[in-house]
Amino acid sequence: MNVMTKRWYVDPGRAEAAERELAEAGGLLARGGTVAFPTETVYGLGADAGNTAAVEAIFAAKGRPSDNPLIVHIADIAQLADLVHEPDAVSRRLMDAFWPGPLTVVLPVRTGSVSPRVTAGLPTVAVRMPDHPVALALLRAAGCPVAAPSANRSGRPSPTLAEHVLGDLGGRIDGIVDGGPTGVGVESTVVAVEAGGRLIRVLRPGGVTVADLRRAAPDVDVTAETAAEEAEAPRSPGMKYAHYAPRGRLEIVQGDAEKRAAWVRASLAEAKRAGERTGVLTVRERIGLFEADLVVGCGSAGNMREAARDLYAALRRFDEAGITHILAEGYESTEGIGLAVMNRLNKAAGHRIVRVR
């Protein structure tokens, strides 16, 4: 695959001034092209959800396994009726509360409304309305529901900058709308309402937290699996694949702060002797504690929102520096957005966690 990837710059603060750029990019989508675009979570790689050849081009560009279904993006709630059968009352409440925003809802698909490649043959389709002015303007310009997974090569960290997309997919996709850095930094929360409306199951934790869901539907149970349960039996098809991984070997270190630092220092020294290029990922206030080829501060102890925003860019920095031995320490909170951060970090580390006592 070697195509010219066209790049349009659109300032998210002035998306309405970028009519020409958005008409071009939207036209390309409508004609069956693949176009990457920013959302409030991460960059997505879009194609017309009804066009099987276009959707296949997404899978080819990403190297994505074909049994992993895609999220369909809409700009207007009126687009929903064509895609799915009448949503249940709880799903409706969630959409009212969080759209546009980082929540994806799995609903019964109307057969034939999207390419079977989008749903990977499931009787359901995952739908979301992104909260990003450039994404919404592009979806309107395209005039069709747009299937869009994260715009990374399969298995790599999701892209939070246009440069990440171009590094992974430049020359493999038709275009990219560059709207600068995304916001939330981790992908949307994927939910399915089950048990006749008595249960909201979080299939993938993300920007909308469990507490947010409980507040919006106080009379409904909300369950999210722990990392260990999920490693056992992934519920969302996508969650079973190796994901978000840097090229080096990443291990998470948890436990008492002082003992942990000592353990990390010893492991770094040993790896260095073995000829490894070493790296540490930690919260900003602890970067001074470590000596390694690359120490990256990502978020601060009390602020997991920042950690979410910066996590994928941080993981990519280790690759850029050719780091082979990476230790992540300082991340334990599974409260709020911390659940999504730890979910992605766990996957990036292939579930390798050391508990120092």
Residue 159 binding: pick among Mg ion, ligand TXA, none (C-beta 5-8 Å cut-off by kind): none
Given a contact cutoff of 8 angstroms between Cβ atoms, the answer to whether 106 and 192 are in contact is yes
Residue 113 binding: pick among Mg ion, ligand TXA, none (C-beta 5-8 Å cut-off by kind): none
- The least CB distance from residue 158 to Mg ion, in Å, is 5
Two structure tokens written together for 208 = 């909308």
What does each C-alpha distance from 346 to 34, 124, 263, 354 come to in angstroms? 30, 27, 19, 11
Two structure tokens written together for 350 = 């292939």
- The least CB distance from residue 218 to ligand TXA, in Å, is 25
Task: Report DSSP letters for 240-308, one per residue.
Answer: GS--S--SSEEEEEEE-HHHHHHHHHHHHHHHHHTT--EEEEE-GGGGGG--SSEEEE-SBTTBHHHHH
Q: Give the binding-site size for Mg ion (rule: CB under 5 A).
A: 1
Binding mask 137-156 for Mg ion (x = CB under 5 A): -------------x------
Ranked by CB distance to Mg ion, the top (closest) residue is 150
Residues paired with 254 in a beta bridge: 355
Select 102 or 246, whichever has its Cβ closest to ligand TXA: 102
> What's the burial of 164, exposed, middle or buried (CB within 10 Å: 0-12/13-18/19+)?
buried
- The least CB distance from residue 27 to Mg ion, in Å, is 26
- The least CB distance from residue 236 to ligand TXA, in Å, is 4
Given a contact cutoff of 8 angstroms between Cβ atoms, the answer to whether 291 and 278 are in contact is no
Ranked by CB distance to ligand TXA, the top (closest) residue is 238
Residue 34 binding: pick among Mg ion, ligand TXA, none (C-beta 5-8 Å cut-off by kind): none
Given a contact cutoff of 8 angstroms between Cβ atoms, the answer to whether 64 and 58 are in contact is yes
Select 104 or 278, whichever has its Cβ closest to Mg ion: 104
**Under the rule (CB under 6 A), what is the footprint of ligand TXA?**
39, 41-42, 44, 68-71, 102, 104, 106, 119, 122, 124-126, 128, 130, 148-150, 187-188, 190, 203-204, 236-239
Residue 236 binding: pick among Mg ion, ligand TXA, none (C-beta 5-8 Å cut-off by kind): ligand TXA
Asked if residue 100 has a cis previous peptide bond (ω within 30° of 0), the answer is yes
- The least CB distance from residue 150 to Mg ion, in Å, is 3
Select 180 or 255, whichever has its Cβ closest to ligand TXA: 180
- The three-point CA angle 98-102-106 to 5° equals 80
- The least CB distance from residue 73 to ligand TXA, in Å, is 6
Residue 203 binding: pick among ligand TXA, Mg ion, none (C-beta 5-8 Å cut-off by kind): ligand TXA
* Sites for Mg ion among residues 172-211 (CB under 5 A): none
- The least CB distance from residue 334 to ligand TXA, in Å, is 19
Given a contact cutoff of 8 angstroms between Cβ atoms, the answer to whether 103 and 184 are in contact is no
CA 83 to chain centre: 23
Select 130 or 330, whichever has its Cβ closest to Mg ion: 130
160 binds Mg ion (CB under 5 A): no
Two structure tokens written together for 353 = 């966690």
- The least CB distance from residue 191 to Mg ion, in Å, is 17
Select 334 or 343, whichever has its Cβ closest to ligand TXA: 343
Given a contact cutoff of 8 angstroms between Cβ atoms, the answer to whether 340 and 211 are in contact is no
Distance between CA atoms of residues 98 and 48, nearest Å: 24
Q: Which residues make up the interface to Mg ion (CB under 5 A)?
A: 150
